[in-house]
């Protein structure tokens, strides 16, 4: 876990990767402050015209889910997709991210999961 201090705002990050058939490496990056979570979903190649996606859930310190962002999909065929979950609620303790590639013409779907405590 990476911790960076910018203007007295701490940011935390998690990066997860996995090998895929047809897309090379799938990489999910989640960075978060107490206010905003940012997501990057990346694949090495996307000749299959799949779409990339991310989704998130936010938990409080008791583990209860207090906010979600449903799956958001990119346009087809891109290799990097950026997104965010702005306005995390008071009491946010952890953010879970799901990063995926799916819906291509030939290859299956793949996902990686990221997590940060804020």
Rg (CA), the chain: 15
List pLDDT tens digits, range 44-71.
Answer: 999 999 999 999 999 999 999 999 999 9
| Ordered strands of the 9-20 beta sheet | 2-6, 9-20, 24-32, 36-43, 80-86
CATH class of 2-117: mainly beta
Give me the half-sphere count of Cα atoms (radius 13 Å) on the Cβ side of residue 88: 24
The answer to whether 22 and 46 have CB atoms below 8 angstroms apart is: no
The answer to whether 41 and 51 have CB atoms below 8 angstroms apart is: no
List pLDDT tens digits, range 23-45.
Answer: 999 999 999 999 999 999 999 99
Q: pTM of the predicted model, to two decimals?
A: 0.90
């Amino acid at each position: 876990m990476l911790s960076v201090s910018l203007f007295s705002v701490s940011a935390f990050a998690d990066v997860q990767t996995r090998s895929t058939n047809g897309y090379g490496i799938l990489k999910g990056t989640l960075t978060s402050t107490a206010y905003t979570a940012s997501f990057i979903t990346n694949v090495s190649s996307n000749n299959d015209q799949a779409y990339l996606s991310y989704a998130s859930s936010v938990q409080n310190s008791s583990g209860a889910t207090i906010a979600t962002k449903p799956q958001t999909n990119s346009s087809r065929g891109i290799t990097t997709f950026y997104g965010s979950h702005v306005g995390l609620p008071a009491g946010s303790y952890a953010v879970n991210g799901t990063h995926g590639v799916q819906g291509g013409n030939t290859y299956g779907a793949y996902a990686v999961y990221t997590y940060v405590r804020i």
